[in-house]
Structure 1
């Protein structure tokens, strides 16, 4: 008996899973390959944690270094604002 395919078995290619191309500024952090938006956000978080850029008194605040400041446009953002700034640096 053949296994019946379900919609959930299909590869995820839309929305947050759609491949996007990072801007030159964002590519300095995540690389220049096309990546799903979810992977871009994950790599930015890896960068933030690797460089200890979370405010120790308020972990929701990200203190931008020179690379992140080019993406955020300011010295600090909250984790909730971060995705809005990243969206401006990716294209489908």
Structure 2
């Protein structure tokens, strides 16, 4: 069962949700960071966010800013600091525009 906030996304445009949850083959730069060769965009975002929280990379004075360490810079275009709002777009750059053309398999929205 989908959470209430996701129901609208599924009914309005199911292709958008599919692009977030389809497993795709990762490029080597992101594969090394995530530790998997295949992952969904949503799963990748969650792994990066977990890494940021675990390593206390958020600016203590402004939680909307992430101070990137060397490992994180490797996947975020070498930027030393990013706004949290930039994170999904920077992660999306590593994924093919049309994951439908080469999906590995479909998974449910909660299975990352």
Q: Give the drift of 1:57.
A: 0.7
The match for 2:4 is none
Choose between structure 1 and 2 for higher RCO, CA contacts under 8 A separated by at least 6 residues: 2
The normalised TM-score by structure 2 is: 0.64
Give the Cα separation in 1 of the matches to 2:95 and 2:71. 15
- The runs of at least 4 consecutive aligned structure 1 residues that moved more than 4 Å come to none
Root-mean-square deviation (CA, aligned residues, Å) is: 2.0
SS in 2 for 1:55: coil
> Are 1:67 and 2:71 an aligned pair?
yes
> Are 1:76 and 2:81 an aligned pair?
yes
In structure 2, stretches of 5+ residues that fail to align are 1-16, 100-112
Higher-Rg structure is 1
